[in-house]
Amino acid sequence: MGAVFGRDPELAVGSAFLAAAAEGFAALVLEGEPGVGKTTVWEAVVHDAEAKGFRVLACRPAETEMKYALSALADLLEPVSEHELVSLPAVQRRALDAALLRGDRTGVAAQPRTLATAVRSLLRELSTEHRLLVAVDDVQWLDRASAELLEFALRRSAAGGWLFARRLGEPCRVVPERLVPAEAVTVASIGPLTVAALHHVLKDRLDQALTRSALVRVHGISRGNPFYALEIGREIVRTGSSAGATTPVPDSVREILSRRLRRLPGETRDALLVASALSDPTTVLVDEKELRPAEEDDIVSIDEDGHIVFRHPLYASAVYGSASLARRRAAHRGLAARVTDPEERARHLAASTTKPSEEIACALVDGAALARSRGAWGSAAELLEQAAVLTPTDDERTSRGIAAAEHHIRAGDRSRARELLEALLARPLPRPLRADALRLLGEVSYNDENIIEAVRLFTEALEHADDPRVANTIELGLAYVKAQLYDFFGSAPHAHSAMERAEAAPDHPLLAEALGYCAMFDYLCGNGVDWDKVERALALEDDESLLPIPWRPSTLAGLLCAYVGRHDEGRERLHAVWASAVERGDESDVAFIALWLSWLETRTGDLAAATVLVEQASAFADATGGQSTEAWTLAQRAYLHALRGDVADTRRACEEAAAALGRFEHVLARIWLAASLGLLELSLGNAEAAWRACEPLVMGLEGQGIPEPVPAFFLPDALEALIALGHLERAEALLDTFEARGRELDRAWALSTGARCRALLLAARGDVARAAVEVERALAEHERIDIPFELGRTLLVAGIIQRRQRQRGRAMASFQQAHELFARLGTRLWTERALSEIERVGLRRSSGVTLTPSERRVAELAAKGMSNREVAGALSVSPKTVEANLARVYRKLGISSRAELGAHMAKSLQE
């Protein structure tokens, strides 16, 4: 590279950028008009980085490469060796191998998110071993697939440097200023050279100096643009014009380039045209001898490996742009017969004609299949669109148009998919094609968070679906979208219909999904969990399925375990799903999993872990633009604030969630929002406000019943508010249904909280004795489930009832245990409430010893003279459990016999 004249300010910016990248993360964008010298500065920064020990991955896409999937990524990662890919998870490594055409290219098509995650993981790994610089010249020419992958990686980059050069006036798919924090990116404008700097550039490249008057003339015409100035300077040198004569330089540089090309031999111009039409021109396809005059004229260079490089991108544009349409088509036709890559062959064939041709359309379909196998679904969609245009027959043209739309959906371009599908549906279509188009448009609507429209489109699609497999796909889609509206009774029939069809053909790929759906919807409809269906679904699950993570059998199994109280198993399963989703890059789905895990940790009392999870969900939702998920995240955050007693934070999060829900419908978020407000107001003692928050949800339960108690996790708070307000008959009716369903389905959470509410109801009616029995029943049910916050509230109620029975010692013990539980959980308002109850009792702690509820019940029965076996029978536990509890009681109380135990318990009851 020659000297960099007149660019000291830009080079200083480059040095500062590299210093920042060496310490953390930084991005630099060099921008300017064509030919102004962006590439020169870009090259200087790259060389400086290499000299400073950076590992540099660089690519220089050309305009002709924009159509070729992953061409820029292949260039960028060419220096990365096979052993550097070993550390990637297997699924990511396979995706990257397919994208780079390394290794076995057979098998399932790589998913865009998986490939994007693989690129991000690789760059992150490389940046831990070296200071890394990712450098892209002419970023505006990036092919779509490469641009999307680099955008994904850049948005999530935390170390190293990213260097871009871009042309003003051209649209760019990667815009760093929109992807990274403002303080991390610098945009440097590359302006015109001064007369003095231009003098040095021309002297260096032309091997002679222009006269002062000619130099000023060149500077004025080129406006300081070095590329244009060089072309004009060459014209001056060639014609031998002097400063005293009229300089024979036209104002149009394009005309200069055309004149320069016309002076070349005809075969050289033909060779240059072929080179300009190739994504990666080499001497294998272009005659090196024919290119020699262009190489001598400094238009192209040929490296030792036979790669042909235009000295400036404008040369390639000028060569291709100045050729007639007939010459271009002839060049593409010739290349189509010689290239071996199916995608490139297809694109050359398409560029060689505008007439319908099934042969060319089929070649484009084959090219799309290759692009898809590499994970370039967007490029595959574009090829299928071209195939549709060139397809002679109507139905096949429509079918390929629908396939193009589906590929656009998988690539994330839903707006283009909608445009194609709506155009197709505007004209008469055969039933099967209409069913397919409506199904895909329904999927677009769902992903655009227009659930009502999605239901309408899926319903209409099902009316046109004659193929059982297509009908099954639509049935599952309907089940999925109706579930988002909490219409579980509407979802279940679709799931069962799909399962029945799939059962008739056991190798049907949708059987696992249908079984999983049926298991989940049967549960939500109050029919319990059919674990045989769950196990069958898990055995048939396809890890490579395109089914969204939230509705995979493994996810449903984890959620069902969590719902029914098998918390440890549910946590383990959901974390496994999380790990798989992260490996594949399904970040929007990770947010879903993180939110349910946050709910699970909230129930089991680890509010710190729940908070970390909700913040992770928020980050994932923000990165993927999931607005409805973000609303749910705000509502879950509000629920955590309410539990901790953070009044202002709860109200603020609720207001933000309510504002988000004003833009779209998300039933889960609305339930969490109401539950958060209800819990907060109840914690503050505002029963009226708590009831107002929960009343709309409760009215829904009163209208349709309580099929499954767990989704109504807000109900105990609503019942407590109703009882506090004196609406005892209404509360009793709800409570009867709630407890009945809890008994039928054996839901320990519903039975424990239901018994607590029953105790409050009876106490409100003055029946303290029966209230005491109910609260003991509640405490017994708590032994079966690990929900410490609810246990603390039950202990609080137990203490209140015991105090009303004048059992002050027992009341104090209950209040103390509740206080310890609330303090450990970090639920401030409830901790304060328990402390106030302790102070109200007005007793000192007699011994400082606290027995757990199970220990106390065992001790009380044993103190009455019952044998271990009799105590076990009374409490429905094993004799060994009784022995273990008694051993702990003896140790805590410092006693060694039942006689001492009886004396201690009698004294405790007297207090």
pLDDT exceeds cutoff 80 at 256: no
pLDDT exceeds cutoff 90 at 429: yes
Burial zone of 768 (CB within 10 Å; 0-12 exposed, 13-18 middle, 19+ buried):
middle
Contact status, residue 711 vs residue 692, Cβ threshold 8 Å = no
Q: Which of 390, 257, 245 is nearest to 312 (CA)?
A: 257
Residue 215 confidence (pLDDT) = 77
Cα–Cα dist 425/439, whole Å: 11
Residue 588 confidence (pLDDT) = 63
Contact status, residue 110 vs residue 375, Cβ threshold 8 Å = yes
Cα–Cα dist 658/672, whole Å: 11
Residue 587 confidence (pLDDT) = 67
Residue 619 confidence (pLDDT) = 83
User: Cβ atoms within 10 A of the Cβ of 748, count?
Assistant: 18
Tokens of 888: 């702990």
Cα–Cα dist 451/753, whole Å: 34
Residue 692 confidence (pLDDT) = 95
Cα–Cα dist 793/788, whole Å: 9
pLDDT exceeds cutoff 60 at 865: yes
3-state DSSP assignment of residue 508: coil
User: Cβ atoms within 10 A of the Cβ of 746, count?
Assistant: 12
Cα–Cα dist 479/828, whole Å: 42
Residue 33 confidence (pLDDT) = 85
Cα–Cα dist 484/663, whole Å: 16
Cα–Cα dist 818/821, whole Å: 5
Q: Which of 473, 418, 495 is nearest to 450 (CA)?
A: 418
Please compute the mean of the pLDDT values over residues 119-134 and round it to a whole number: 91
Cα–Cα dist 745/750, whole Å: 10
Residue 507 confidence (pLDDT) = 60
**DSSP letters spanning 171-203:** --S--GGGTS-GGGEEEEE--PPPHHHHHHHHH
Higher pLDDT, 667 or 801: 801
Tokens of 833: 């409430």
pLDDT exceeds cutoff 90 at 195: no
Please compute the mean of the pLDDT values over residues 659-687 and round it to a whole number: 88
List Cα–Cα distances, 139 to 21, 163, 172, 316, 764, in angstroms. Answer: 20, 10, 7, 16, 73
Residue 252 confidence (pLDDT) = 57
Higher pLDDT, 792 or 92: 792
**55 Cβ partners below 8 Å, 6+ apart?**
126, 129, 130, 131, 132, 133
Q: Which of 772, 864, 868, 788 is nearest to 827 (CA)?
A: 788
Cα–Cα dist 264/261, whole Å: 5
Cα–Cα dist 56/666, whole Å: 46
Buried b (16+ CB within 10 A) or exposed e, 852-881: bbbbbbbbbbbbeebebeebbeebebeeeb
Rg (CA), the chain: 36
Higher pLDDT, 653 or 857: 653
3-state DSSP assignment of residue 503: helix
SS3 string, 580-606, reads HHHHHCCHHHHHHHHHHHHHHHHHHCC
Contact status, residue 810 vs residue 772, Cβ threshold 8 Å = no
pLDDT exceeds cutoff 50 at 845: no
Please compute the mean of the pLDDT values over residues 290-306 and round it to a whole number: 90
Cα–Cα dist 797/778, whole Å: 10
Helix (H) or strand (E) holding 135: strand 132-136
pLDDT exceeds cutoff 70 at 842: no
pLDDT exceeds cutoff 60 at 847: no
Residue 626 confidence (pLDDT) = 64
pLDDT one-digit tens code per residue, 727-771: 999 999 999 999 999 999 999 999 999 999 999 999 999 999 999
First to last CA, the chain: 94
253: left (phi over 0), alpha (psi -120 to 50) or beta: alpha
Residue 210 confidence (pLDDT) = 77
Q: Which of 190, 219, 256 is nearest to 37 (CA)?
A: 190
pLDDT one-digit tens code per residue, 384-425: 999 999 999 999 999 999 999 999 988 888 899 999 999 999
- Chain-centroid distance of CA 468 in Å reads 32
Please compute the mean of the pLDDT values over residues 348-361 and round it to a whole number: 91
Residue 142: pLDDT band by 50, 70, 90 thresholds? very high
Helix (H) or strand (E) holding 27: strand 25-32
Residue 757 confidence (pLDDT) = 97
Please compute the mean of the pLDDT values over residues 760-784 and round it to a whole number: 95
The amino acid at residue 558 is: G
Residue 908 confidence (pLDDT) = 63
SS3 string, 688-740, reads HHHHHHHHHHHHHHHHHCCCCCHHHCCHHHHHHHHHHCCCHHHHHHHHHHHHH
Please compute the mean of the pLDDT values over residues 310-322 and round it to a whole number: 81
Q: Which of 196-200, 238-242, 552-556, 565-569 has the lowest mean pLDDT?
A: 238-242
Residue 686 confidence (pLDDT) = 93
- Angle (CA) 899-900-901 rounded to 5° is 90
Tokens of 395: 């139905």
Residue 247: pLDDT band by 50, 70, 90 thresholds? very low
Which residues lie across from 27 on neighbouring strands? Answer: 162, 185
Q: Which of 435, 400, 432, 437 is nearest to 418 (CA)?
A: 437
Average model confidence (pLDDT) across the chain: 87
Burial zone of 432 (CB within 10 Å; 0-12 exposed, 13-18 middle, 19+ buried):
middle
Q: What percent of the chain has pLDDT over 90?
A: 53
**254 Cβ partners below 8 Å, 6+ apart?**
318
Cα–Cα dist 365/346, whole Å: 8
pLDDT exceeds cutoff 70 at 188: yes
List Cα–Cα distances, 347 to 362, 407, 883, in angstroms. Answer: 12, 18, 80
Q: Which of 227, 322, 307 is nearest to 275 (CA)?
A: 307
The amino acid at residue 271 is: A
Residue 543 confidence (pLDDT) = 78
Contact status, residue 681 vs residue 717, Cβ threshold 8 Å = no
List Cα–Cα distances, 85 to 54, 96, 760, in angstroms. Answer: 19, 9, 63
Residue 704 confidence (pLDDT) = 86
Residue 3 confidence (pLDDT) = 59
Residue 610: pLDDT band by 50, 70, 90 thresholds? very high
pLDDT exceeds cutoff 60 at 124: yes
pLDDT one-digit tens code per residue, 212-239: 777 777 777 677 777 777 777 777 777 6
pLDDT exceeds cutoff 70 at 312: yes
Residue 400 confidence (pLDDT) = 96
Residue 240: pLDDT band by 50, 70, 90 thresholds? low
Contact status, residue 889 vs residue 855, Cβ threshold 8 Å = yes
pLDDT exceeds cutoff 90 at 83: no
Most confident of 155-159, 235-239, 860-864, 868-872: 155-159
Q: Which of 177-191, 248-262, 807-821 has the lowest mean pLDDT?
A: 248-262
Residue 557 confidence (pLDDT) = 97
Contact status, residue 350 vs residue 120, Cβ threshold 8 Å = no
Residue 314 confidence (pLDDT) = 76
Contact status, residue 107 vs residue 69, Cβ threshold 8 Å = no
